[in-house]
Structures are given as structure tokens and as C-alpha cells.
Amino acid sequence: MGSSDVASQQDPFRFCPPDHWRHSVILVADDHSVYRLMIGEFLNKLGLGRELVGDGREGLLAFSRTRFDLVISDCHMPLMDGFVMAREIRLLEQQRGLRRVPLIALTANPRHDDAQRCRDAGFDAWLLKPLTFARLCEVLLHWLPGTPGDPSSQAPQRSTSWPNRADMVQTFGSESVVEQMLDSLLREALTDTAALAHARLTLNAELTAERLHRLLGSLAFLGCDALGARGGWLVEQVRAHGVAKNSVRLEAFENDLKFYLAYLNKL
């Protein structure tokens, strides 16, 4: 996909958003007014509708009355933080039978347990502050609902875009934090991959979608956006059409995921 192209442009503001974005509305929750306005301006340049709020309580209220296509939320806010807001949004979706909206977490100072806390709360991915326009475009390209076509044939290739040890240490601050995160996330991802294979073989659509969703959280933190996009698409396909019609795609996804996890295990 074109995310690497976005990041490499000399003038990122020349990025041309997909046509379907003009109908999308984004909710942004951040207690820092300047940062909130900056993200709002980025979204404005992309032609996206947006609502900006200052804490999780305002964000939950906005979500309860407006249909959003994606939510970006700071993790640490007064009155109601992003973790609580994310849980409440997921509960509201279940109670009202709403489709699952992508939730993207923002954090300035990641702690070793933030990745797990984000996953447990229901976030799909996280971003580190300061957020650049180019990085925001990459995330929106992956997570905004639309009609990009069937991404199931986009097999992962070993590439320089995959994270290396130095990148991860720079992102998360220390070798010890990286070691803990990799160990925990890899163990969980391998367990979920095995459970996904069992769900596929038994044609259990509910469990297949559930395990795919859990794996999406791991992939968001393990740095493989292409596999994450495929997994998100497969969740929708399984929910709409069941396991049998997607069995070949699911098996291919599992094999490619194992390849990527093996790469990470060698870091």
C-alpha cells in the first residue's frame, strides 16, 4: 500500500486522500488544547469531518450521539481517561449492535504495560506523540473504513519497513522494556494463532473473529501494518460470510503471520 510513500514525501501536505474519506468523521479526545487543535487541523487538510473533545467523558458522550468512523484518544486525561473511554465505547457498541469502530490510542510517555492496557481496553493500535501529519496519514490509510478492495492476497515480504531492535529500543525507551513487550506479545500472538487455526478448522465464526481481533491488537504493537490490514478485512468477511467461504484466506493469513512472528523472535 502507499503508507511508505506518504512518509517519504518531501511535502507531506501534498498527500491526496482517497475519495471515500470525504464522508468520514473522526472523533479526537485529548486534554491538551494545542495538540487537539493540531490534529484537528491535520484532519481538516485531509477533508475529514471531525469532533474535538477535551476528555474521555466528553468523548463518550459524543460517541453516544454521533456515528464516527474512527476515534483517536489520548490515554491519560482528566475526568475519564482513554482506557476507560475505550472500554465504555466497546460496551456501547455491543449494547446497541453497532459495528466496531477503530480506536487509536495516543501516548507521550509509554510505560512497559501500556501496550497490554491498550489491548485490554479495546484499542486497535497506538501512536506515540508527537504525531506527525505523515504518520497520521499512514494510520488512517490502514484503519479508516472504506472500499480498498480485497487485501487478502497482500502477503508480507521481509522488508526494511519491518521493525528492528534499534527501532524498538528508540520507540519504547530501553532494552528491558522491549524485551518484556516482545516476550509477552509474542507468547500471546502464538497462542492466539493456534486458537485461530482451531476455530477455522471447526468453522467457528464467532471464535475466529474474536481471535483475529486479538491478533490485530498484537500486530498493531508489533509493527506489521500490512498483516493488520488483512486481519481487519478478514474479521469483516468472517462476520459477514462465515468461516468456510474464507478458509483459504484465513489459512494463508495464519502462515504469513507465523513467518512474521518467527522474524520478530530472532530480533
pLDDT in tens, 208-233: 999 998 888 777 766 666 677 788 88
- Evaluate if residue 100 carries a pLDDT over 70: yes
pLDDT: which is higher, 172 or 62 = 62
Q: What is the pLDDT of residue 153?
A: 43
- Evaluate if residue 55 carries a pLDDT over 60: yes
Q: What is the pLDDT of residue 225?
A: 66
pTM: 0.56
pLDDT in tens, 15-50: 677 777 888 899 999 999 888 889 999 999 898 999
User: What's the whole-number mean pLDDT along residues 159-187?
Assistant: 76
pLDDT: which is higher, 51 or 229 = 51
Q: What is the pLDDT of residue 152?
A: 45
pLDDT: which is higher, 265 or 243 = 243
- Evaluate if residue 254 carries a pLDDT over 70: yes
> Could you give the CA distance from residue 94 to residue 55 in angstroms, rounded to a whole number?
22
Q: Tell me the sheet residues that pair with 70.
A: 26
> Could you give the CA distance from residue 206 to residue 150 in angstroms, rounded to a whole number?
21
Q: What is the pLDDT of residue 35?
A: 87
Return the minimum-mean-pLDDT range out of 105-114, 196-205, 256-265.
Answer: 105-114
User: What's the whole-number mean pLDDT along residues 98-117?
Assistant: 80
